[in-house]
Each structure stands twice: as structure tokens, then as C-alpha cells.
Structure 1
């Protein structure tokens, strides 16, 4: 029979273990501003008004997704408090809203704020404040720069990757092409243009016969289209946001210009671009995709698509399922939920960034088959694969293989 002394020693040892475990558990819970035992405050900035308001649906989809997560009990028992503001795609307004979110609302992070010029305006501020600017809704290549901007990360494939893929296709299929380019005169447009020029290489200078830019504040791009047609180009690269993309598709038809038409992915939405421009005017347009398209019947029995459609019916019935923005909002919101789950009870800004930079083969099932999300401490480009597609009838048809583009920050 054990002595009384050894019994007491055993009890005190057990007690020490218990105390150590409980103090360990207490020590594990770590919070920065915007996180607590009961909530996680997430900030967001969207153009609900102004020239890029077609993208506002992304923020509305995210709000519906987080509400669904909260209705199911939240993340590790915490509810998401999603605070989203309108900046009308105006960089000075973005700065104002970011300051409000960080300094007044005291959010844990700013998630999926939209647009290259708006995010560029708050890039240095977010990094100086050490607040995550996470999964920004823009494909500018500069978001993949963990060395100089460790608090900023993109989500979608970057613009230079996309136009490099178009350049590869043109060089292979149309090596004697005469190319005309329309682009938005800002960081977003210039980034796409750089990818195209880099992809065409030494031949680019002679292949691109005309470049025309437009301002986001312009009412129309009709004059630019007329001018580009006069160049005699047989390939048209359309680097525009939704409103101008729809105008360009219509105008090409009006002036009887029929080049091989490449349209950037950010304006490939059937609901907000192609349908308003007229299906008949969009036949044969080439773009690139990384997500499944609701209008494509090949996904009708796909479990991921069924789940998305069930979410739309139940949580966001007023949202347009055909609008590419809804599926993007859903996919990126799922990615953030994954990061927050992995962050556990360490809801510090540094740990959230660490988890965001440790995604391995993560999939939201609205991504095309074969496309996976991967990040690391030196790679802040979560998605870097695309597949070409061509518009036929009333939908996009994928062709070729999933293509990886490796464009660093």
C-alpha cells in the first residue's frame, strides 16, 4: 500500500499538471483589437456606388455567407461582425473608410477590399499599422510582396499571369497577329498591359499596333474603339472593368469590327457584362477562368456547385446567381473562414497572417477542378492557375489545360 507521503506527492503532482494545463489553456487565448471570446470583427470596403458598382454584389454575398456561418454557431464559438463600407471606387474615400475601420471600429483585419487604385491608396497605411489587408479583391501583381508588405495578400490570379497566358496563346495560334489594346488608365490597367508585353517578349513591340487608354470617370469608350478599329488590328485585348467591357462588346458590333477578342477575367461575368452587351455580340470572345461558371451545364450535378446554389437560394435569394461576383464572394469568404478556423484561439493579427500564409492545397469547391490554393511565407499569391475559355451561345466553354503562371511580386 502506498505511503501517505507518496499519495500526497501524487496528488500535488496531479494538481500541478492540472494547473499547468489550465494556465496553458488560458495562455493560448490571445487577442488583438477586433477579437474576443464572442466575436471577430472583420472590415471590408466595396464600391457599392460609382463606376465600379457592379462589383458591390461581392460584398453583399460575403455578408450573407458570414451571416450563415454565424447562424451555424460561428467560428470556434465566435460570431463574425462584418462591417462593410462604400468607397465608390474612389481612393481618397478608401483611405477614409480604412482609417475608420482600423481606428474607430477597431477591426481585426480588412478583408477583400476591392479594386487596384483603392487598395494601392491604403497599402502603406495597412502595413504601417500592421493590420492584415487580406485577400484583396484585385489581381495586381504587387500584392505578392511578403518581404516589403508582409500584411497584404491577394487571392485571385494576378493580372500579369492572365495576360501572359493570352500572350502564350497568341504566339502559338496567331504568330503574325496585329494587336490593339484598350486599357483602363490606372494601376489595374497597366498591370495587365505589362503582363501582355512581357508575355509577347521581343516581338511585342511590332505585334502591338495600337494602345488606347480611358479614364474610369469617362462616360464611354466609343471613340477609343473607333480609333483601335482603324489600326487594322485582327486581335483585340480588352482590359476593362464591367461597365466599359459591356460598352466595348456592343461597340465592336456596331462598327463591324471582328477581331479575335480577348476579355480580361474581371469582366467575364455573364450576368453583369455579357448579357447586358447582348449574347449575339459576345460570340467567340476568349477569356480565362479559375472558378466554375453557374451558367455552364457541365456543373449541374457538381457537389460544389449544388452547395453554392443552395446557399444562394437560402441565404441570398435576391443575388444574381449568373453574376460572377456572387461566386467570387462565396469562394473568398470560404477561404477566410478556413484561415480563421486554423487561427484557433490565437486571434492576433500576426497569427492570422501566419495561417493565411500556410494554406496547402486548400480548395473551395467553386474553383475549377485541378486548381488549388497554396501560400507560404515567401508566396502571397494564393491562386496562380487559369484555364482558357470561349463564349458560345449563352455561356463560356472551357478549352485546353489548366495553365500555371509563375509571376512573382
Structure 2
């Protein structure tokens, strides 16, 4: 299936005028997918299928590339952004990836979306030595083994990183807490819960109760009754939206008032906290790394203002209340940064070298103070998050950044 924005076999977009950041090479070096006037970048996103809502990520990234191309390209090259639909299907992702690598001959893959789809292609692209960069997934597997998968780097904060950040917060702010954990019994739940346990380290005995649940269950009411009975005074709500909402509502019904940590995947006000009852969510804490453009706190923020102007001109049909469009813009900024730093050496090896040496880059839609950093042995570019506390009807920043780095 072609991407929504095909022109012939692809959708063309791309780059800014040459920046004078690094000296030009006497002769341009081009790998597969690169010429003196063009660079091909491959992508897949579910434009159709059960999670087609994520298709907007590909659309906003394509719009960002279109903006760059209208401004003249990067280092004299236009970007040919080839984005296909994988329908959130791993077999389709494999098919589209082979097409991108073997037929389109892209220089690298960028922002391919989804844990299952990226899992299906990771061995193939690493065997082919094709840069598999800034994946749109929080799966920890994509960054925790750079020795075996040296060509793969994720973009999202990993679920383990988020879990470790909460553990560090607990050890610092609630060192005597008795912790109860509601956790989804699947790869997602295991990923974030491993981060919590690893982060607690020798303090893991602070966990006095845990209650897993399966997606097939109707409610988590029985799990919540069990967790309250444990005598815990800190509740970790490691659930996806439907069950996180049930658990938060149950806190009120049980008149249980522990410290409440809510994982980021379920921190949506409309989908989770309003159905749960805003009164039951007061004081809940979460962590994030992307600015919410609907938050009045960012009304005058230069980065958000720039994003709004971009949306008006290049993606007017996009929903300004959808944080995925802010996320896609941040990813677009990262693509621009990568290509600018690669300069006139657009070989796969050099692109990978640049991706492995980010030190302090901060897309404007990241929360203040969060910067990207990578190395050949550390493939997690973002490992800090901003602590947020729910007050009234919205999340409010509180305190400084919390880190997912392993601490004693």
C-alpha cells in the first residue's frame, strides 16, 4: 500500500538552506539513496487499520519535510520522504521495509512506527546495515542492545526509562513508601514494571503488593480491592487508558487516598481522567517529555508558537489538540538536525556516526531542560522526563526533571 502522500512511488518533501555549521567537503560522498541533489528517507506508519489515528504522525513529518524543501533543501539536497502504510501489521511492515531498502534504495529508515512492526524488521535492517533511526515506539528492546543491533536507535523515551524515573522519584521523595502496583500483563506492562523494579534496586522490598490484569478482563475492581487491603500508601497505576480510568475511579469508591503515580500512556485528560472523575485524580503524578500545545502554560512559548504557525501553513487539516502532531514536529526537527550534521557525507556509515553522537540537541517541542544524547553504547536519546501533577482540570509542571538513569 502506498503512503497517503505518494507522488509516483513516493511523496517528495524536504530541507533548509545550507547551514554554515561545518566546513564543506571538497567532494560530496553519497551512499545508497543519496545524490548531490536528493536524499531518500524511508518511513512506514499505519495510515489504515486499527490504529490509523497514528497516521497523523507520518503526515505531520511529511509536512515538515515539505516545509524544508520549500526553503531550499538541506545542504543543497531536497528530501524525498517515502512513507508507506503498514496498517500496523508486522508482515506488511516487513514487505514495506524490503521495498524501501531494495527497490526505493533509501539512505535510511526514520520514525517507523509501532513496537510489533519494528520488532519484525529490526534483524533484517541491521543485517543490511541500514540506519534504523529514531523509531516511533517506547519498546525498550530497540535501544538496550546496541552491540547486537548497532543500526537501530529509538526516539521515544523507553518504557523502562519511564519506570526507572518513577522509581528514582519514589526513592528521593517517598523513601518510606509502601508501594502497590497495578500492572498490565503484557509486554508493555512487563517493560515499564521492569524499569520500576530495576530502579528501586535493593529497595524493591518497598513493593508490598502487585496485581496484574489481562486485557480480556472486564474491570480491575478486584485488583484494586486487593491493593488497598495491602496497606500500601503509594499506588503505581501502570495501566493502559481503559483500565487506568477504572482504577482511578475505584480509588474514590474505596476512599483510598495513596500517593498516585499514573504512567504516561494513560495520562490523557479526556480519555482517562474525565471518565474516572476529576476529583479522583487530584494530586496524581505522571511524567512526560513532549509539550502539550493545548496547555495554557505554553500559550506564549516560542516553540509552540512556531509549531502553530507551521500547522497553519503546512498541515492546516491537522488537529491542534492532538499531541501526536507536536510529537511528529519534534521528530521532524530531529531529522533536520541529523541531515544538517551529516553535511556532504551522506553515507550510511556517516549518518549512523552522527546519530550515535548527539550531545545536547533539544527539539523545541521537548519539555524545557530535556536534551537528546546518544553514543555508540547508549542508544536511548531521551532519558529525562518532566514531572507533572494533576490539579483542577489539567496537568501542571512541578519540580525539576526526573531521570531514568540507574542510581544507587
* TM-score, normalised with respect to structure 1: 0.82
Give the drift of 1:293. Answer: 2.0
Counterpart CA distance in 1 for 2:58 and 2:199 is 33
Give the drift of 1:133. Answer: 0.7
Q: 1:103 to 1:92 in 2, by over 3 A?
A: same
Aligned position for 1:204: 204
Select the structure that is richer in helix: 1
Counterpart CA distance in 1 for 2:213 and 2:48 is 23
Give the drift of 1:148. Answer: 2.1
Aligned position for 1:67: 66
1:177-256 map, 5 Å = 177-183=178-184, 185-186=186-187, 188-204=188-204, 207-215=207-215, 222-232=218-228, 235-240=234-239, 244-246=240-242, 248-250=244-246, 252-253=248-249, 256=253
Helix, strand or coil: the match of 1:135?
strand
CA contact (8 A) 2:245 2:275 kept: no
Unpaired runs of 5+ residues, structure 1, are 1-23
Q: 1:263 to 1:206 in 2, by over 3 A?
A: closer
Q: 1:229 to 1:200 in 2, by over 3 A?
A: farther
Give the drift of 1:62. Answer: 0.9
C-alpha RMSD over aligned residues: 2.8
CA contact (8 A) 1:132 1:349 kept: yes
Give the drift of 1:276. Answer: 7.5
Unpaired runs of 5+ residues, structure 2, are 1-24
Q: 1:385 to 1:254 in 2, by over 3 A?
A: closer
Counterpart CA distance in 2 for 1:315 and 1:118 is 28
Give the drift of 1:128. Answer: 0.2
Q: 1:211 to 1:60 in 2, by over 3 A?
A: farther
Counterpart CA distance in 2 for 1:135 and 1:38 is 24
Counterpart CA distance in 2 for 1:192 and 1:86 is 28
Give the drift of 1:328. Answer: 1.2
Q: Which moved more, 1:147-156 or 1:270-279?
A: 270-279
Q: Which moved more, 1:267-276 or 1:356-365?
A: 267-276
Give the drift of 1:324. Answer: 2.0
Helix, strand or coil: the match of 1:320?
coil
Aligned position for 1:151: 151
Give the drift of 1:162. Answer: 1.3
CA deviation map 1:3-41 (0-9, x unaligned): xxxxxxxxxxxxxxxxxxxxx73xx32222222233222
CA contact (8 A) 1:212 1:224 kept: no
CA contact (8 A) 1:43 1:82 kept: yes
Counterpart CA distance in 2 for 1:76 and 1:82 is 16
1:113-152 map, 5 Å = 113-142=112-141, 143-152=143-152
Instruction: Tell whether 2:160 aligns with 1:164.
Output: no
Counterpart CA distance in 2 for 1:153 and 1:399 is 30
Aligned position for 1:95: 94
CA deviation map 1:300-333 (0-9, x unaligned): 2221111111112221222222322111111111
Give the drift of 1:284. Answer: 3.3
Counterpart CA distance in 2 for 1:50 and 1:247 is 23
CA contact (8 A) 2:260 2:283 kept: yes
1:225-374 map, 5 Å = 225-232=221-228, 235-240=234-239, 244-246=240-242, 248-250=244-246, 252-253=248-249, 256=253, 260-270=259-269, 282-374=281-373
